[in-house]
Each structure stands twice: as structure tokens, then as C-alpha cells.
Amino acid sequence: MKYNFDEIIPRRNTHSCKWDSATNEHVLPLWVADMDFRTAPPIIEALERRVRHGVFGYTKVPQAYFDAVDGWFGRRHNFAFRKEWTLYTTGVVSALSAIIKALTVPGEQVIIQTPVYNCFFSSIRNNGCDIVANQLVYKNGTYSIDFDDLAEKASDPRAKLFLLCSPHNPVGRVWSREELTRIGNICIENNVTVVSDEIHCDFIFAGHRHIPFVSINDEFLSRSVTCTAPTKTFNLAGLKVANIHASDETIRKKIDRALNINEVCEISPFAVDALIAAYNESEDWLDKLKTYLIGNYHYLKDFFEKHLPQFPVLPLEATYLVWVDCSALHLSSAAIAEILLEKENLWINAGTMYGAGGENFIRLNIACPRALLAEALDKIKSVMG
């Protein structure tokens, strides 16, 4: 096997947020979106070369960095982000906070589609803005968008930004061209800027395709901002690197200023070298990883259908985060998470942390060796079966 995704790599006592945050050393973590796989060999080799150089001073981001970004998105997603549109920063959450600071004033509104990535909430609140939820509609085992509600909320003159999670975390949806177009048209009609978080765009599974929001038409390109990063794709979150793409010069200058105000306008030499190696040399690793991940999903889904059929597992169109409907238990998702942790030392995410619509759901991170996933599923069966 070229890449051994079954290898269990010990992560305890490595300052791992995922593995070392629990006080009990026996806790099995399936919570934070952090993979338990060793990253692609070309990335490791690039970082080793940088370490051997031995000097780690302030970094000038080279043309090769932007070429790697452009090449990756051109090949993988049929849309290349130009260097002149791109600002680098330490992470997508840092990016979102800077964008909100740049494009709103306190008291204005930011629309989100709940249940959604929990850091959206803190980024909005930390900038003094009000959260407006366009809650996703859960019906027949999947999610759709309430466009009438979105249009109503976007029409409020205080609404300035719409945070799009594409693909969506935690519900695993890949938005279609039609859905994205309707979102964009509603926002443009109401002078609301779309900010598209596309950090999970490389984990799209068979039958679906990621469509960058900006690729739909020139008006969407000029009236939106896109956030991307190699960190989820290649398990590099600790290296702190992301990119903000804004084709409109006025918008981009405002964001650049906010990045400097927030002091998140520099990245490390390790981040630069890792991104270049990831985007230029690591596609094969990613393709093999995606095959392994969808295998994990099918393993989990089959397990639930056999042992826990009362808890529907939602379709996984994208990401490695599985959303499970636990409403049959008639317990809050927070209570379910607490019971799993206390009784079986299993740490999962309660759906309530993702806002309205997240109650009765749990989120499971399946980006781990299958043996660990099997162990976790046995723990879930012990409590919920």
C-alpha cells in the first residue's frame, strides 16, 4: 500500500488539541475536524528541508505560493484564483473575522445558515454584529435552503453579509449551481455581500462537484469574497495558513487593512513550503485518502443500519464529518454527548453547538484509521443500542 491510512499514529502527549484536551487519557476523540493520518510525503519532505536549513526568519511569500494556489483550483475546481485577488492569513476563522471587521460596522447583521460551523457565531459576535439565522430545512433525510426566508432576511437594510458554508459543515451538503445562483441573486438584489467559506471543497464525493461561488458569473465574482485553505485537505491546521480571494479592489483593500489591524497578516516559512508541496505534489495522496474516507463512511453507515437503525445517518456528499439524527432517543444532543463521554470515553460533537436546527443531532469525525472508527462505533452501540 502506497499510503497506509490504517496505521494508528500515537498522538497523545504531542500537544494535540484533539487528543490531549481531555483529562482522561482513555478518551477516544471523534470531535474536532482534525485528521489522524500522517500528511502527504511531499509535504513532510518539504518541511524537513526547511528544518534542515535552520533559519526561520520573517517570510516573504514567493510567486510560487500563488502559482500553486492558482494551479490547484484551476485543475481541481475549474477556476483559478489570481495572485492579485489573494491575501494570505493564518486561518479561515482569522479570515472570517477580518472580513466581518472590514465590511460591517457593529450593530449590522450577518446571515448564516444554521446548523453551521460554530466559529461563525463567535466571529460575528466578536465584531459586534448581530447573527441572523436562515435555518436550513431538514426533510426526508436531507437539507435544503428556505429561499423565501433568506430573501426576507436579506431585505433588512441592516443585513450586510451572508456567510456561505460551501460545502456545508456539519450537514455534509454540496450546494448545486442552481442553489448557489439563487443565493447569489437574492444577496445581490439586497446589496448583501456573500462570503464563501470553501475550506472543505477538496472533500467532495462521487456524484457531486464543488462549484466555487465566484465561478458562476462575473457579478458573483465581483460582489463576493472566498476563503480557502490547504489545512483541512492535507491535515495542516497547526501550520496556520489560509487565503482570502477578493477580485474587487475596494473590498480587498478593506480586508487587507483589517488583517493588519488584527495582526494576522503574516504566515510562517513552514506554511509557505507546506502549501506549495501540497498543491503541487500531493494530489495522488488526496485521491487515495478520499477513497479511504468514503470507505469509512460506508462502514459507519452499514454499522448503523445493522445495529442502530433508529438513528438515520445523513448522506455524506462532502467533508469527513458525519451528521446523525438521534431524535429517536428523545434526549438533547448535549446529553447524548455527555453520556457517551462519561460512560464510554467517546468524545463527539453535540449538534446544539451549531445553532438552530442542530438539536437532536451529533457530528462524528470519521477521518481516522478504521480500527479506531470501529472502536468508536462499538462505544456508540453500547450507549445508544
- Which residue carries 448564516 as its cell? 112
Q: Is the pTM of this model over 0.85?
A: yes
- Let me know whether 228 and 247 are in one domain: yes
Among 242, 265, 281, which residue terminates a domain? 281
Q: Cβ–Cβ contacts within 10 Å for residue 231, how many? A: 23
22 & 166 share domain: no
Residue 237 lies in a domain: yes
* Residue that is last in its domain, among 231, 263, 281: 281
Give yes or no for a contact between 381 and 308, defined as CB atoms under 8 angstroms apart: yes
Last residue of a domain, one of 218, 248, 281: 281
109-112/159-165 β-pairing: parallel
**What does the buried/exposed string (b/e) look like for 300-315 if buried means 16 or more CB atoms within 10 Å of the residue's CB?**
bbebbeeebeebbbbb
Could you tell me if 231 and 324 lie in one domain?
no
181, part of any domain: yes
**Are 234 and 113 members of one domain?**
yes
Terminal CA-CA length for the chain: 35
Residue 47 inside a domain? The answer is no
The confidence score (pLDDT) of residue 1 equals 65
Overall domain count for the chain: 2
Q: What is the extent of the structural domain holding 150?
A: 54-281
Residues 68, 120: one domain?
A: yes
**Do 267 and 338 sit in the same domain of this protein?**
no
Evaluate whether residue 9 is within a structural domain.
Answer: no
pLDDT tens across the length of the chain (385 residues):
689 999 999 999 999 999 999 999 999 999 999 999 999 999 999 999 999 999 999 999 999 999 999 999 999 999 999 999 999 999 999 999 999 999 999 999 999 999 999 999 999 999 999 999 999 999 999 999 999 999 999 999 999 999 999 999 999 999 999 999 999 999 999 999 999 999 999 999 999 999 999 999 999 999 999 999 999 999 999 999 999 999 999 999 999 999 999 999 999 999 999 999 999 999 999 999 999 999 999 999 999 999 999 999 999 999 999 999 999 999 999 999 999 999 999 999 999 999 999 999 999 999 999 999 999 999 999 999 9
Residue 129 belongs to some domain of the structure: yes
Cis upstream peptide for 230 (omega within 30°): no
Asked if 343 and 359 sit in the same domain, the reply is yes
Same domain, 324 and 220: no
Alpha carbons 174 and 377: distance in angstroms, whole number:
26
Q: Give residue 159's Cα distance to chain centre.
A: 24
Is the domain of 23 the same as that of 110?
A: no
Residue 14's contacts (CB-CB under 8 Å, 6 or more residues apart) are 20
84 CB-contact burial (10 Å; exposed 0-12 / middle 13-18 / buried 19+): exposed
Q: Are both 249 and 336 inside the same structural domain?
A: no
Q: Residue 49's pLDDT is what? A: 98
CATH code of residue 362:
3.90.1150.10
Residue 15, Cβ density class (10 Å: 0-12 exposed, 13-18 middle, ≥19 buried)? exposed
